[in-house]
Every structure is written in C-alpha cells, then in structure tokens.
Amino acid sequence: MSNIKFTYKNVFEDCSSVSCSPTESTAYPLYRLYDRDIDKLFAFSSVSTEMSITANQGASSDVWLSPTRLIIPEGHNLNGLDCILYYSTDNIAFTSVTSWTQADTNTINKTFTAPTYHYFKFKIISATSHTGQLPELFLGPDYTFQRNPSYGSVVGKKINVLRDETQSGKVRLIKQGDIRKKGTYDLTVIETTQKDDLETLIDYIEGAKPLWMTDENGTLTYIEILNEPEFVYKAAGKYSCVIDFQEVI
C-alpha cells in the first residue's frame, strides 16, 4: 500500500502562454488541453512528422511549477508514436525529462524527478499518417498524503441506472451512463502540515476543478471532490477531515 497522491495543478493551465506546432485546429482548439474536460479533444491543424506543445511558465520563477507527473487520458491517438517531454531555460536548447513509445490508446501516466524550468515541451515524433489529437495534457506536481485514510473508509461504484416500477410490480431499468468510482476517505487523525496542504488544494480547485488521484493501490482516477471538507480539532496539532469523491468521465 502506498500513500494517496493528488495531482491538481497543471503547468499548461497555470503558465503564461501555450503554443503548438503545427497550429491548432479551429474545430479542436488548443485550450481543450487544459480545460479539465477529458471528453473534448484538441487536435493539430495538419499532419506532420513532428508535433509539439510548449508551455512558457513566465518570467518570474516564483510561480513556476515543478511537475512530477504527465497524464494524457484515453482518447488520444498516439498509439505507436514516440513521445518526449522536454524542459528548457531559453526555449532554444531542450533537455529530455522522459521519453517512450506509446504502445496503446490507454491513459498515459508518466512519473519523473521534479524539474523546475521556464519552459516545458511535449513532442510527438514518427507521425506519418494522422493528425495528433489529445483530450488533455496534464503536467503537474504530486501532493502526497502524509497520512492515508483510516480503516473504515469506503470506496465503491456509482451505478447510473434509471429504475422505474409499474403499478403491477414490473421493473424497467435504463442504463444512462458508465459506472464510476466513488468513495469517502475518513482522515481520522492528520497533523497541521496535511491540514494546511489540503486547505491549499481546496482553495485552488474551489469546488469546480476536477483533479487526478493516485489511490493507495496505485490506481489513477480523474475525480471531483463532492463535499466541502471541514477540519475538526482533535488535540494540539491534530485534526480530522472527511473527503467525498467521485470519478469524472
């Protein structure tokens, strides 16, 4: 069992500017890479053997993020292509952070040592026959729980089925959507540092931004926090908190 991680800040969302080459398709605009809607696609405007997306974190290093994880959800068409994440100080000379050949169309989840740099570039090479498309490009730091939820926390599935029963007792069931993960994490005893970290997270997402969670089993899920977490004082420097979450599709 490992400690739970939340990845809730995205370099491409928080940076000074984002650019791509080739240009964006007008039908599938660039902002979809960081709008937190994994159901809508970004696409390049044309086929190219090399395609790239660059984030400029701005002149002030005080606001630069130090990412440790790159996530691209299902819906991309990078299967069989070579992918590289770079960093740079000047947007001229780039150094590789991580690289791989994508083997399938599943969610891409890459971790690495946190670099802090002015520019980050995600590059796709070896493309010959199609225009690259991605539903989201999420590059950010992990926040790791100092203490995991207590025994008795609940994790399950939300079933999206409309149930109707006639007067004679016959049941009609209509499946309206996919099953989603849901749960309640009971943080029975946490210390001031974890409380402060969670308050920072709550202030950042404002109840409106989904985020990525790596659970205690290492499973990555895109979630929303459903409740307004409150902190109960237990003793000097000790608090409790409950987090209700549900998968976003």
Tokens of 216: 């205690």
**CB-based contact 41:47 (threshold 8 Å):** no
**CB-based contact 147:194 (threshold 8 Å):** yes
Can you list the residues of the chain whose pLDDT is less than 70? Answer: none
What confidence score (pLDDT) does residue 57 get? 97
Please report, for the chain, the start and end positions of each structural domain, with discontinuous segments joined by +. 7-141, 145-247
pTM: 0.92
Q: Which CATH superfamily is domain 7-141 in?
A: Galactose-binding domain-like (2.60.120.260)
Query: CA-to-CA distance for 214 and 107, rounded, in angstroms?
Result: 13
Query: CA-to-CA distance for 56 and 91, rounded, in angstroms?
Result: 8
Pairing of strands 143-144, 5-7: antiparallel
**CB-based contact 214:4 (threshold 8 Å):** yes
